[in-house]
Amino acid sequence: MGQTAIVIGATGLVGQALVDRLAAVEAIDKVVTLTRRPSRHPSAKVHNQVVAFDHLEAHAAAFAGDLLFSCLGTTRKQAGSIAAQRIVDVEYQYLAAQLAATQGVRHYLLVSSSGAKAESGNAYLRMKGELEQRVQSLPFARISIFQPSLLLGQRAAPRPGEKLWSWILPPLCRLPGLRRFRPIRAEDVAAKMVQVSETPGPALEWFRLDEIF
């Protein structure tokens, strides 16, 4: 019997590319996308379930599977404040991880950020680092954490700041010492996540931009 993969953040840049790739993996029988609004996919393997992230406990059964891909995230502008962003980037994701661990998911794959650190002076990187720390306490057989830099791709809702940096960073990152900050296509991150999910690995691992992508 094939595996069941669960994806949160399935409508984002990485999430969309990831769902497309997972639907084509022979060893995966079912891809469950948990979203706030209905999200259709052409593959019969993909099953969408609308959930209330404010009440994720009510959807605990939806987290039963083999793999959890956590690609959820927002920006301060979209959320309205740092406190509201933290609810999405830390609290929702950690609760989803807890529910998945309780439901028997063995492999947890998280999209974090380059420079993530719980002690960072940057609020965004601090949130990402804190989430990385917290999920390590959960009883997954395997945790894989991906730390890309600026993600490149066509978003449904444009982010002017990201667009500007996508023009500026590539030439800058050719300079010595800056290569590890180079932008990366969301499609490449998704491809790496699928590859990692298909191959054996240690109980805890990081995939950092300058080492892997």
> The tokens of 163 are what?
């667009």
- Higher-confidence residue of 181 and 142: namely 142
- Is the pLDDT score of 127 beyond 60? yes
89 touches 127 (CB < 8 A): yes
- Is the pLDDT score of 183 beyond 90? no
94 touches 135 (CB < 8 A): yes
Give residue limits of the domains in the chain.
3-153+184-208
In the structure, what pLDDT confidence band is assigned to residue 179 with cuts at 50, 70 and 90?
low
Q: Is 30 a catalytic residue?
A: no
Percent composition of the chain: helix, strand, coil (DSSP 3-state, to 5): 40, 20, 40
Residue from 194, 207, 156 nearest 26 by CA: 194
Q: Is 124 a catalytic residue?
A: yes
pTM over 0.85: yes
Indicate which residue of 92, 108, 124, 192 is catalytic: 124
Average pLDDT, the chain: 88
Indicate which residue of 45, 92, 108, 128 is catalytic: 128
Q: How far apart are CA 199 and CA 197, in angstroms?
A: 6
Q: How far apart are CA 127 and CA 158, in angstroms?
A: 23
| Radius of gyration for the chain, computed over Cα atoms and rounded to the nearest angstrom | 16
- Is the pLDDT score of 42 beyond 90? yes
Report pLDDT for 131: 98
46-50/107-111 β-pairing: unpaired
Domain covering 3-153+184-208: architecture? 3-Layer(aba) Sandwich (3.40)
- Higher-confidence residue of 18 and 162: namely 18
